[in-house]
C-alpha cells in the first residue's frame, strides 16, 4: 500500500501454497509458471547510461539517468518503456558495486530514497557503493506513468463501512469504475505491470550499470521485489537487505486481511499512548474510553464532514499513517483532542491535508499499486467472499478493515487475468539480512519469520516491541550497526535459533514540542509512504 503525504513536522513529501516463477513471456490471461530465470534482453549499445546532475538541497550529489527497457521482456525488439534512475556515486577508492534501493508500494518512487540511504549510512559505508534509486515501471518519472482515474480519492467519499445497501453500492460503484478506467485507458499496458516484469527491469539496470552482481536494499513491498529477484537471478545477488518483510505465502488477498488485525492493534497502542499523556491531551486515562471517543468522532464526521472535506473515510486516511510510524502520533493526538475537547476541527483538516490527502503523484502510485497487485496473484472475483471475509475481520478489527478492503477491491473487477505468485524459497542466494519489528502492522511479524525459513542462510534481526514499518536508518543504533557491518563485509549475525539478533525498540515519542525538528525516521517514512 502506498499513499503519499507530507509530515506536519516538515519532513519531505511522503508516503503457503506457492507455485513457481512467472515466465518472462507471460501474457494477459496466462497463469502458466516456470522456474526458469528470464534472460536479460538489452544489447550493449542500448544499455549505456548518461548521468546528469539532479541534486537537491537535501541530497546535492544525486545524479539522474533514464533507461529504455522492453515493455514485454519476451519480445525485446518490441515496444519500449523508460525507467527513471538516480545515483549517488561512490567516493571510496574501491567500490563494492551498485546498491539498488526500493521504498515499497507497489507504486513507490525510489529516486529520492537513493539520496536518503547514501546520506543516512555511515560515510565509510556509503562511500563504497553507487547507491541506485529507480522508479519501477509505470511509477513517477518513469514513462508511461498511468493515472487511471484522477481524483479517485477526492473527498468526501462514501463511508467505508457498508452498513447499508446504499453505502455498499456506492463503494462498489467507485472501485468498479476505477478498474474499468484502468482497462479503458491502459489495457495494452496492464498485462506487463507486475512484480516479475519489474524484477526483469532490475536486471536490465544491473546490465546497464555494467555490474555482474547487484547489492539490494528494499523496504516493505520492496522485500518481495528483492526476494523474487533473488529467486530468478540468485547468481547475480551479492548482498541483500530486506526490511519490514512481506509474507510471500499470502500475496496479496490474505496479506491484506492479516494487516487489518495488526493495524487495529497498532491503533489501540496509539490510544494507550494518548491515555499515558492525558496531561497534554486531556482525553482520559482509560484507553478503551479514549477509543470510544475516537469512534464517536468518526460517527460525527460521517454525518457532518469537517470543512466539507473530512468525513469518516478521510478520517481513516488521516490516522492510518500512525500505524506505520509512531512519530506521527503527536500530530494526530493534537487533532483528535482539538476536535473532542474544543469542538475545533481545523487541526483535523490540516492533519488530513498533510497525512491523508492524495495528489496526482498519489493517484499514479495507486494506479500502479492496483495494477501490480491485481496482476501478481489471484483475487476472489465473487464479491460475496469479500463481503463475508471483511465483515468477519471487521468484528474484531474495525479500525481499517473496510477502508483496506475498498483500497484493494478493484482487484475483484480487474480487466486482466492473474498470474501465479512466485515461490521465493531459495537455497542458492548468498546470506540475506532480514529486519523485522515484532509489532509492525503493514507487514506483520510472521512474514519475517516465514522468509527467514524460505531463504536458506538468511539472518533475522528483530526489533523487540517495535511497531514502526521500516526500521533501519530510523535512529535505532543497534539495527543500524548490523546493517553497516553487513554492507561493509557481508557478515550477518548468527544466533543459532529462530532469531539471530534482537534489538530494543526506540522509545515512543513525547507530546509535540514547538521546538521539535524533523527526525530521520520522519524523513524515511515520508519517502516510504503509506499503504505500502
Provide the pLDDT confidence category of residue 48 given band limits of 50, 70 and 90: confident
pLDDT at 519: 81
| Per-residue pLDDT tens digits for 432-467 | 999 999 999 999 999 999 999 999 999 999 999 999
3-class DSSP state of 100: strand
Give CA–CA dist 110/133, Å, rounded: 5
pLDDT at 39: 59
How many other CB atoms sit within 10 Å of the CB of residue 116? 25
pLDDT at 403: 98
Return the H-helix or E-strand segment holding 214: strand 214-219
Backbone angles phi, psi at 210, to 5 degrees: 75, 25
Number of H helices, E strands in the chain: 18, 10
**Average pLDDT of span 182-194:** 98
How many other CB atoms sit within 10 Å of the CB of residue 498? 10
**Average pLDDT of span 265-271:** 98
| Per-residue pLDDT tens digits for 283-310 | 999 999 999 999 999 999 999 999 999 9
Global pTM? Answer: 0.92
Higher pLDDT, 182 or 521: 182
Annotated catalytic residues are 220, 440, 469
pLDDT at 37: 60
From 87, 109, 106, select the one nearest 98 (Cα to Cα): 87
- CB pairs under 8 A, 24+ apart, for 301-306? 302/159, 305/155, 305/156, 306/339, 306/345, 306/348, 306/349, 306/352
Is the confidence at residue 19, as pLDDT, over 50? no
**Average pLDDT of span 3-25:** 31
Answer whether the bond into residue 144 is a cis peptide, omega within 30°: yes
Share of the chain above pLDDT 90, in %: 87
C-alpha cell at 228: 523474487
3-class DSSP state of 63: strand
| Per-residue pLDDT tens digits for 191-200 | 999 999 999 9
pLDDT at 107: 97
pLDDT at 189: 98
3-class DSSP state of 510: coil
Q: Are 24 and 74 contacting, i.e. CB atoms less than 8 angstroms apart?
A: yes
3-class DSSP state of 87: strand
Give CA–CA dist 36/128, Å, rounded: 33
**Average pLDDT of span 313-326:** 97
Give CA–CA dist 126/124, Å, rounded: 6
Is the confidence at residue 24, as pLDDT, over 50? no
Amino acid at each position: 500500500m502506498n499513499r503519499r503525504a507530507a509530515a506536519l513536522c516538515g519532513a519531505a513529501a511522503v508516503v503457503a501454497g506457492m507455485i513457481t516463477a512467472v515466465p518472462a513471456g507471460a501474457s494477459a490471461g496466462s497463469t502458466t509458471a516456470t522456474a526458469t530465470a528470464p534472460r536479460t534482453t538489452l544489447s550493449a549499445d542500448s544499455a549505456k547510461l548518461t548521468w546528469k546532475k539532479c541534486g537537491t538541497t537535501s541530497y546535492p550529489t544525486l545524479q539522474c539517468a533514464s533507461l529504455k527497457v522492453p515493455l514485454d521482456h519476451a519480445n525485446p525488439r518490441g515496444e519500449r518503456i523508460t525507467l527513471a534512475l538516480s545515483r549517488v556515486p561512490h567516493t571510496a577508492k574501491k567500490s563494492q558495486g551498485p546498491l539498488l534501493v526500493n521504498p515499497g508500494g507497489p507504486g513507490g518512487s525510489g529516486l529520492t530514497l537513493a539520496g536518503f540511504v547514501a546520506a543516512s549510512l555511515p560515510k565509510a559505508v556509503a562511500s563504497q557503493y553507487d547507491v541506485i534509486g529507480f522508479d519501477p515501471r509505470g511509477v513517477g518519472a518513469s514513462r508511461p506513468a498511468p493515472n487511471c482515474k484522477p481524483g479517485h480519492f477526492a473527498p468526501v467519499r462514501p463511508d467505508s463501512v457498508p452498513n447499508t445497501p446504499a453505502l455498499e453500492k456506492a463503494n462498489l460503484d467507485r472501485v468498479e469504475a476505477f478498474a474499468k478506467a484502468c482497462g479503458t485507458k491502459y489495457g495494452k499496458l496492464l498485462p506487463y505491470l507486475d512484480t516479475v516484469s519489474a524484477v526483469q527491469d532490475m536486471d536490465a539496470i544491473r546490465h546497464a550499470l555494467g555490474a555482474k552482481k547487484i547489492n539490494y536494499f528494499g523496504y516493505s513491498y520492496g522485500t518481495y521485489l528483492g526476494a523474487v529477484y533473488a529467486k530468478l537471478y540468485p547468481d547475480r545477488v551479492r548482498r541483500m537487505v530486506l526490511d519490514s518483510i512481506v509474507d510471500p505465502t499470502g500475496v496479496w488477498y490474505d496479506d491484506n486481511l492479516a494487516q487489518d488485525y495488526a493495524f487495529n492493534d497498532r491503533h489501540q497502542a496509539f490510544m494507550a499512548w494518548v491515555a499515558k499523556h492525558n496531561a497534554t491531551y486531556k482525553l482520559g486515562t482509560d484507553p478503551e474510553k479514549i477509543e470510544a471517543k475516537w469512534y464517536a468522532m468518526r460517527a460525527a464526521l460521517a454525518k457532518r464532514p469537517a470543512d466539507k472535506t473530512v468525513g469518516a473515510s478521510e478520517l481513516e486516511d488521516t490516522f492510518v499513517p500512525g500505524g506505520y510510524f509512531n512519530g506521527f502520533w503527536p500530530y494526530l493526538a493534537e487533532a483528535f483532542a482539538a476536535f473532542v475537547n474544543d469542538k475545533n476541527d481545523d487541526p483535523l483538516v490540516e492533519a488530513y491535508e498533510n497525512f491523508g490527502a492524495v495528489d496526482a503523484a498519489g493517484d499514479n502510485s495507486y494506479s500502479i499499486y492496483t495494477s501490480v497487485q491485481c496482476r501478481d496473484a489471484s483475487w476472489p472475483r465473487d464479491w460475496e467472499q469479500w463481503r463475508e471475509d471483511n465483515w468477519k475481520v471487521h468484528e474484531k478489527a474495525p479500525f481499517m478493515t473496510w477502508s483496506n478492503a475498498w483500497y484493494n477491491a478493484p482487484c475483484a473487477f480487474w480487466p486482466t487475468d492473474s498470474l501465479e505468485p512466485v515461490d521465493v524459497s531459495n537455497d542458492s542466494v548468498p546470506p540475506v539480512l532480514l529486519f523485522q519489528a515484532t509489532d509492525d502492522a503493514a507487514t506483520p511479524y510472521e512474514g519475517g519469520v516465514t522468509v527467514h525459513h524460505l531463504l536458506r542462510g538468511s539472518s533475522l534481526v528483530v526489533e523487540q516491541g517495535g511497531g514502526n514499518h521500516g526500521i533501519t536508518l530510523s535512529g535505532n543504533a543497534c539495527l543500524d550497526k548490523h546493517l553497516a557491518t553487513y554492507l561493509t563485509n557481508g557478515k550477518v549475525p548468527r544466533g543459532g535459533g529462530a532469531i539471530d539478533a534482537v534489538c530494543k525498540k526506540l522509545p515512543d515519542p513525547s507530546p509535540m514540542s514547538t521546538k521539535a525538528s524533523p527526525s530521520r525516521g520522519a524523513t524515511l517514512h515520508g519517502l516510504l509512504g503509506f499503504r505500502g
